[in-house]
Structure 1
Amino acid sequence: MPEEFEVPSPHEQHVEHTTHHAHAKGDSFASKIAVMTAIMATVGALMSYQAGSTESEAAMDKNNAAIQKTEAANEWNYYQAKSSRQNLSELASHLPGLDSAHYVAEARRYAEQKEEARKKAETLELQAREWDEKSEQVLHQHHRWAQAMTAIQIAISLAAITLLTRKEWLRRVSFGAAGLGVMLGSLAWLHI
């Protein structure tokens, strides 16, 4: 019966040799990369949560601005209606045969109501602008969180490649990307 034997390739021999030595003496390089990756994944998850949270907050603020704008438009429509009634009352006060005093009083009443509507509409417009500004600030913060999260994801990918290639320079680049992610996350946290 012919004997079968396998001739391992040089690559297989290298992988087996590296694996054997790594298990024999404890692979601190791989352990450090694994811990670093776990920490980066945790930080990335926190950043992802913050990015989603700020995105939702920006959308809510924008929605509040839209509500205020709609209410302001309603008040301006009310203002226009009172203006039209005031104009008609002023016109009627000058027509012969009608109770002039009644229409003058009506014109004054419409003018007062119109002024109240104007003030309310301007206040609502101011509130809408404030909501819009807040939304823009929170959206900027969201972008910072998203940038930080992207840098952390790149660092994790580089750490995986580092583990496969065992290149020290690549590990430093991974640390750099993680540092950039932490810096961007800090800027987001500080609203910068």
Structure 2
Amino acid sequence: MTHDPALEAHEHAEHAEHAAHEHDPFISRVSITIAILAVLAAGVGSLETIEAGGAITSASEAVLKQDQATDSWNEYQADSLKKHLYGIAADTKGPKAEDYAKTAKEQVAKQAEIKKGAQEKEAERDRLMAASGLHEHRHHWLTGAATMLEIGIAICTVAIITRRRHFWLGSIALAVVGLALFGVAFLT
């Protein structure tokens, strides 16, 4: 069974509207509270899903950048071997010694470019991993916020059934905790 915050919010709003038709002021207030909490839970749940996707996407892109950096470092090592081989060939003072020495110097310049590219890819990998961590951090806090709001909705339902004010106030307290967790997700 999939979790659809928008559908759940709509269902809770319908239940709240139905209960409001009883013309009891307490039931009306609790019903309105349910509707508000349902909308908040749907919004927080959607943001939670977005942050989870962002964490996964950033981590995947970081792995790709690491693979690219590894390929660059492998190329750097291969060119290092070529440079040394051409250097040894140039030291033999054979007929192509000057060509070998020139090629060895070209390898040094090529290696500098490859090294720079590999380091840039590693820096991008680090940036992406930090972004993934931030998304994951937000996701955890948003999960808590959505949970508090959804529990608040359930307790509002108990308040309607029992007609007990302390359940309604408890649900409002849970909503405040949920909103605080929402704030922490984006402030820390």
TM-score normalized by the length of structure 1? 0.82
Amino acid at match of 2:41: G
Higher alpha-carbon deviation: 90-99 or 131-140: 90-99
Matched, 1:171 2:168: yes
- Residue identity (%): 24
Partner in structure 2 of residue 6 of structure 1: none
Amino acid at match of 2:147: T
Matches of 1:122 and 1:150, distance apart in 2: 42
Partner in structure 1 of residue 137 of structure 2: 140
**Rg larger for:** 1
Alignment of 1:37-76 (within 5 A): 37-76=34-73
Correspondence for 2:81 among 77, 80, 84 = 84
- 1:162 counterpart SS class: helix
Count how many residue pairs are aligned between Structure 1 and Structure 2.
168
Q: Note the C-alpha offset of 1:78.
A: 0.8
Partner in structure 2 of residue 183 of structure 1: 180
TM-score normalized by the length of structure 2? 0.84
Correspondence for 2:159 among 158, 162, 174 = 162
- 1:97 counterpart SS class: coil
Q: Note the C-alpha offset of 1:167.
A: 2.0
Matches of 1:191 and 1:59, distance apart in 2: 21
Structure 1 stretches lacking a partner, 5+ long: 1-21
RMSD, aligned α-carbons: 1.6
Amino acid at match of 1:149: A
Q: Over residues 154-173 of structure 1, what are the superposed CA-to-partner deviations in whole Å (9 max), with x where a residue is unaligned? A: 10111111111222222221
Q: Over residues 98-142 of structure 1, what are the superposed CA-to-partner deviations in whole Å (9 max), with x where a residue is unaligned? A: 422111111111111111111110111011101100111111111
Correspondence for 1:35 among 32, 35, 47 = 32
